[in-house]
Amino acid sequence: SLFRLKDLEVAELGDSDVHVKMMAAPINPADINMIQGTYAVLSPLPAVGGNEGVGEVLEVGRRVATLKPGDWVIPAGPGLGTWRTQGVFPEETLLKVPSDIPVLCAATLSVNPCTAYRMLADFETLAPGDSVIQNAANSGVGQAVIQIAKASGIKTINVVRARPDLPKLVERLMALGADHVITEEMLRKPEMKDIFKSIPKPRLALNCVGGKSTTEMMRHLQPKGTVVTYGGMAKQPVMVPVSAFIFRDLRLRGFWMTQWKKDHAQDQESLASMMDALYQLIRRGQLTAPACTEVPLQDYRAALEASMKPFTSSKQILLL
């Protein structure tokens, strides 16, 4: 196996370093891709896994200005290596988060909700009453899209794969604020027309599957609509009928949270305003952590296996 649980010495605390006790860290698809070597950011080996999580500051170096013991922190970017009980990290690799939000919300905040927030904000100007369609709607990003859209008065059409416990999943997504939950097969059915009696056709489609799923979603977009691809779970290319380009002028875009953070490294204002908006939603109960299974660190193997099973509707969270 690629994985071992190891005891390491905690590094010396440098002047600009922060000693952090990790509390909780999720297992995300990108974490697995990094380990498999198929991701665009790879850590030099040997490496500690995990790109996301929340910890508490134990001690800070004498030049550290933005953090103090007792503060909660999350990674500012990828590759921090969060699957550990403690670590010493340079101050600029950490972002302070309020400690009055639930631990699981903080642990899962820096990747999925940020991705959802940016995709809803940055590609189409959506107003209350507008609609969005997305596949893999039960994913971490999908659950955040449903809730953030709902809080802004935007309707969501949520596509999921048919599965044995479908009614339970539909119920869960509806409880989060989904307006419609349909299976991939439904996208082709005439009944889709019924949905658009009560809500407008979407101007935005969010795709993390690829293949046929994306092509089918596209059929329901308004002219000049945008498809944003942020993942490729089906490991198949996005196929677009030429007519969709010519006669409907659809736009195809991509989104990667890591790139957005790089592009906005000098623009602390846009990061801060996004994070504040997310904290507000969490405090109001309008944005919750995704469905989670909490696993103690020593059971990490079981957690990794569970995270790679098909039809997982629960994110594995390592408790540190």
Residue 276 φ/ψ, nearest 5 degrees = -60, -40
**How far is 98 from 227, CA to CA, in rounded Å?**
34
Rg (CA), the chain: 20
Residues 6+ apart with CB under 8 A from 289: 102, 104, 105, 107, 108
**How far is 128 from 63, CA to CA, in rounded Å?**
46
Active-site residue flag, 279: no
Largest CA distance in the chain: 66
Contact 233, 137 (CB under 8 A): no
Annotated catalytic residue within 39, 117, 230, 279: 39
Q: Indicate which residues carry an active-site annotation.
A: 39
